[in-house]
């Protein structure tokens, strides 16, 4: 089974506010993306590949409402809170936080947890309190994963090493996996490997051998969990990633990195076509 994830960020913001969206009016944005991809994605066998799009919260409902009957597209949210409501129990004090039950009630089928940007945010909060503890971040993410799975959501759990951690990448990734997945139902979790040290302008991405090495390691630690490349599935690396047996898919963000930088449905479909070789 292959997994193609799409994490849409900054695309809910117009360019004049510093975002990268100019493909549709904001109030139509989520539905526009679903409507302009789902029919073309039906050409792929849904028993062979799963397509999941993680939307910013404001666009979840319009995206879900745009799903056609038997759509191959699944809609997810960009993270959930580490606590949740419970029948006969916790009513909740969740102002500013999206719970997994709320995401499920909206119609989401999955969520992304532990993205390098989320990890950086949690570390930044702790740093303001004078604390530096990456294991604490993994424990918080573990709570999020358990809440998501309990609510019936599938999870894309992101792991990765920074440039400072790269020399000890095995230990870093092992802690993220073992602590983050401790006690969680792994049947509903896929792993995205983000080489944080290689993400950003002017940085050199890992080569095929490095990605394969990490993919093999992650499968060993997780007893064979699906592993996707989270450093950016792109037009120029799609065929290379597809050739790695240990890698089961990829995470797409931007589709265009020069000129009018941003996400474009037709380019998203081209990336998938190259990866699937169809």
SS (H, E, C) 71-130: CCEEEEECCCCCCCCCCCCCCCCCCCCCCHHHHHHHCCCEEEECCHHHHHHHHHHHHHCC
- Cα-Cα-Cα-Cα torsion 229, 155, 28, 67, nearest 10 degrees, comes to 100
Pairing status of strand 189-193 against strand 49-55? unpaired
Is 85 a residue whose pLDDT tops 90?
yes
Look at residue 160 in the predicted model and tell me its pLDDT: 98
Q: Is 11 left (phi over 0), alpha (psi -120 to 50) or beta?
A: alpha
Is 134 a residue whose pLDDT tops 90?
no
Look at residue 96 in the predicted model and tell me its pLDDT: 92
- d(Cα 247, Cα 67) in Å, to the nearest integer? 28
Q: Catalytic annotation on 59? A: no
Average pLDDT value over all residues in the chain: 94
Q: What is the pLDDT of residues 189-234, one digit of tens each?
A: 999 999 999 987 778 899 999 999 999 999 999 999 999 999 999 9
Look at residue 26 in the predicted model and tell me its pLDDT: 82
Q: How many CB atoms lie within 10 A of CB 246?
A: 15
- Which pTM was predicted? 0.96
Q: Catalytic annotation on 270? A: no
Has domain 79-227 been given CATH number 3.40.50.720?
Answer: no
Q: How many CB atoms lie within 10 A of CB 187?
A: 8
Name which of 112, 27, 34, 32 is nearest 74 in CA terms: 34
Is 99 a residue whose pLDDT tops 90?
yes
Confidence label for 23 from pLDDT (cuts 50, 70 and 90): confident
Give me the catalytic one of 50, 115, 118, 144. Answer: 115
Average pLDDT in the 173-191 region?
97
Q: What is the pLDDT of residues 43-84, one digit of tens each?
A: 999 999 999 999 999 899 999 999 999 999 999 999 999 999
Give me the catalytic one of 50, 144, 161, 194. Answer: 194
Kindly report, as residue ranges, where domains of CATH 3.20.20.70 are found in the chain. Answer: 79-227
Average pLDDT in the 239-245 region?
97
């Amino acid at each position: 089974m292959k997994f193609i994830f799409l994490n849409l960020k900054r695309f809910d913001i117009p360019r004049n506010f510093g975002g990268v969206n100019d493909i549709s009016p904001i109030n139509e944005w989520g539905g526009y993306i679903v409507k302009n991809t789902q029919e073309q994605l039906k050409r792929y066998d849904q028993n062979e590949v799963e397509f999941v799009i993680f939307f910013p919260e404001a666009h979840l409902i319009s995206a879900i409402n745009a799903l056609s009957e038997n759509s191959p597209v699944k809609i997810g949210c960009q993270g959930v809170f580490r606590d949740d409501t419970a029948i006969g129990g916790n009513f909740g004090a969740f102002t500013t936080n999206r719970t997994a039950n709320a995401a499920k009630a909206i119609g989401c089928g999955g969520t992304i947890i532990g993205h390098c940007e989320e990890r950086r945010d949690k570390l930044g909060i702790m740093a303001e309190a004078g604390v530096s503890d990456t294991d604490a971040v993994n424990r918080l993410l573990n709570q999020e994963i358990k809440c998501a799975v309990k609510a019936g959501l599938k999870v894309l759990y992101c792991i990765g090493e920074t440039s400072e951690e790269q020399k000890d990448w095995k230990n870093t990734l092992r802690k993220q996996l073992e602590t983050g997945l401790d006690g969680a139902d792994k049947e509903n979790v896929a792993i995205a490997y983000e080489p944080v040290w290689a993400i950003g302008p002017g940085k050199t991405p890992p080569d095929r051998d490095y990605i394969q090495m990490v993919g093999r390691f992650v499968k060993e630690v997780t007893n064979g969990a699906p592993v996707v490349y989270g450093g950016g599935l792109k037009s120029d690396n799609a065929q290379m990633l597809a050739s790695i047996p240990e890698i089961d898919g990829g995470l797409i963000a931007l589709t265009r990195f020069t000129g009018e930088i941003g996400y474009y449905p037709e380019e998203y479909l081209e990336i998938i076509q190259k990866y699937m070789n169809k």
